[in-house]
Amino acid sequence: MTQPTPVVDYTSRDYPAILDDLLALIPFFSPKWTSRSSSDFGIVLLELFAYASDGLHYYADRVANEAFITTATKRSSVLKIAQLLDYTPTPAAASQVSLSFTNTSATDGVVPARTAVMTVSGSLGIDVPVVFETSAAVTVLAGQIAAVLANEGRTVALEAVGVSDGTARQSMQLFQVPVIGGTISVFVNEGNLAQWDYAPHLLDNSGTSKVFGLVTNESGVVSIIFGDNVNGKAPDAGSPIFVTYRVGGGQRGNVPPNTITKIIDPVPAGLTVNNIAGANGGADAEDTDSIRENAPRSLQTLNRAVSLVDYSDLAVTFPGIAKARAISTTGTSVSMYVAPFGGGGVETGGADTAPFGSLKAALLTFLDQRKAINATVTLLSPTYVPINIEVTVQALPRYRQDRVQASCGVALANLLAFNNVIFGDFVTLSDMHASLLPVDGVSYIEVTLLDRGVGTGKTGVQLAENEIPTLGVLSVIVVGGLI
């Protein structure tokens, strides 16, 4: 009696499982084929088929994973899903600094607005020059010193990005990257040069509204998008389009004091520049993991704040806010600690930096439009707590001590990196072991110090609701291995 053909197992998706299924089918289709040697030509063909199928299944899984924000690995996929969730990732922010211009000449000098200055390569560990532009004109009297604010980055003025063809949903790329968030101005010449307004959602506008939208791809390239004469106006055919924006941003702009000493643009002779205080407020564009975590929150709140979680979720969807924690003892008064991307935002002594103060004011306006009518919201600044760590690492034989030490230092720095910590975090001994034991060359570890600088404890550090941990004094002692 002929036996039934084995049922295909669709869960067999890797090379060994597929090959086993193919070998099991041989007696039912070719009973005389009895050889199972790897040198048999038929077996070779089956192995090749299993190999090809394994690869196809891998790509099929990758394609499926890219459709979900929790499993997507490509930044382009995460950005597209975030766009569907109506979430706008935070772009790079520029740092701000107070510059002091000194006039050693006998005549007054004028420093125009947008005068470019920069750091000098090699000064205090700065390898690549960082450029700043003054935010306003300032007159420096003879023999005097005058101060003016400057913002990191350079202005690209009236860049010609294209000519409208009159079609719907036109998209035009800006030529330079990275673009600093909130600095894009679009001008369209439909007989006369006029500025158009930025609209987060073109759907909210009529067919005559002169507005534009923005899309940023995975490489940081920004494109401006116009309407379709139903939701937002399409520029008339033949209209030249110009864009003014600023390029720069990021944490690299937070330069130390006394590093901005070179004037790029021509200014009157006898003027010198310096920054007595360091620059602050610079933050990198939101990374993929942060988008993956924050984007779904835009749906959970339904654009209103009722519970404490709603306040926190709304805050982190606001551009520039990386972390938030809301607390309350009553239903009508909410206090919320917030921190900007990249950390920082607080000067020595606890005062807000100017950029962070402006960001908090804008966030408060945003929340006031979404909270309950009788509720009040108070925004508070974070307290950054240095965590001191001392650990002894036993290296495995044939591993160099210096390399193990460097790798352990990187692992601990990553553990307490800003993106990996939260308000009220609890840093434990288990965290130390989980971070260091997977490091190549580590046999075992002994944590001899884990505290916040107030004692000699090593059981762990529990932070308060307003505190965020940072890496303080780090000592990694490596024993064993190769010297």
Q: What is the pLDDT of residues 24-58, one digit of tens each?
A: 889 888 888 999 998 899 999 999 999 999 999 99
Pick from 172-186, 254-268, 452-466: least confident: 452-466
Phi-psi region of 270 (alpha: psi -120 to 50; beta: other; left: phi over 0): left
User: Which backbone phi and psi does 379 adopt, to 5 degrees?
Assistant: -95, 130
Among the four given CATH numbers 3.30.300.30, 3.40.50.740, 3.90.1170.50, 3.40.50.12780, the one describing domain 295-381: 3.30.300.30
Residue range 2-21: average pLDDT? 79
358 near 182, Cβ under 8 Å?
A: no
pLDDT of residue 361: 93
Q: How far apart are CA 36 and CA 181, in angstroms?
A: 64
Q: How far apart are CA 212 and CA 226, in angstroms?
A: 5
Tokens of 324: 């938030």
Beta bridge partners of 247: 154, 179
pLDDT of residue 441: 94
Residue given tokens 């001994």 in the structure block = 429
Tokens of 61: 């899984």
- 3-class DSSP string for the chain: CCCCCCCCCCCCCCHHHHHHHHHHHHHHHCCCCCCCCCCCHHHHHHHHHHHHHHHHHHHHHHHHHCCCCCCCCCHHHHHHHHHHCCCCCCCCECCEEEEEEEECCCCCEEECCCCEEEECCCHHHCCCCCEEEECCCEEECCCCEEEEEEEECEEEEEEEEEECCCCCCCEEECCCCCECCCCCEEEEECCCEEEEEECCCHHHCCCCCCEEEEEECCCCCEEEEECCCECECCCCCCCEEEEEEEECCCHHHCCCCCCEEEECCCCCCCEEEECCCCCECCECCCCHHHHHHHCCHHHHCCCCCCCHHHHHHHHHHCCCEEEEEEECCCCCEEEEEEEECCCCCECCCCCECHHHHHHHHHHHHHHHCCCCCCCEEEEECCEEEEEEEEEEEEEEEEEEHHHHHHHHHHHHHHHCCHHHCCCCCEEEHHHHHHHHCCCCCEEEEEEEEEECCCCCCCCEEECCCCEEEEEEEEEEEEEEEEC
Residue given tokens 């962070």 in the structure block = 356
Q: Is the pLDDT of residue 122 over 90?
A: no
pLDDT of residue 13: 87
pLDDT of residue 47: 95
Residue given tokens 């495995």 in the structure block = 396
Contact partners, residue 170, CB within 8 Å, separation at least 6? 162, 164, 225, 226, 234, 235
Q: Is the pLDDT of residue 2 over 60?
A: no
Pick from 200-204, 227-231, 323-327, 429-433: least confident: 200-204
Tokens of 469: 């941990």
Q: Average pLDDT over the chain, rounded to whole?
A: 90
| Neighbour-count burial of 150, counting CB atoms closer than 10 A to its CB (0-12 exposed, 13-18 middle, 19+ buried) | buried
Tens digits of per-residue pLDDT, 55-86? 999 999 889 999 999 999 899 999 999 988 88
Neighbours of 15 (CB within 10 A): 16
Beta bridge partners of 185: 244
Q: Is the pLDDT of residue 177 over 60?
A: yes
Q: How far apart are CA 352 and CA 359, in angstroms?
A: 10
pLDDT of residue 4: 67
Task: Give which of 363, 325, 323 is closest to 343, Cα–Cα.
Answer: 323
pLDDT of residue 389: 93
pLDDT of residue 210: 95
Q: What is the dihedral of CA 232, 294, 281, 387, to 10 degrees?
A: 180
Sorted by where each begins, the domain ranges of the chain are 15-65, 96-153+250-274, 155-247, 295-381, 384-482
The architecture that CATH gives domain 155-247 is: Beta Barrel (2.40)
pLDDT of residue 455: 59
pLDDT of residue 304: 87
pLDDT of residue 454: 64
306 to 322, 324, 361, 362, 371: CA distances (angstroms) = 21, 16, 21, 20, 7
Which of 7-21, 111-125, 379-393 has the highest mean predicted lDDT (pLDDT)?
A: 379-393
Tens digits of per-residue pLDDT, 194-251? 999 999 888 889 999 999 999 999 999 999 999 999 999 999 999 999 999 999 998 8
Report residue 301's pLDDT band, with 50, 70 and 90 as the boundaries. confident
Residue range 14-19: average pLDDT? 92
Q: How far apart are CA 341 and CA 398, in angstroms?
A: 41
pLDDT of residue 11: 80
How many Å is the Cα radius of gyration of the chain?
A: 30
Are 155-247 and 295-381 the same fold in CATH?
A: no
Percent of the chain scoring above 70 in pLDDT:
96
Residue range 107-126: average pLDDT? 83
pLDDT of residue 415: 94
Give the CA diameter of the chain: 113
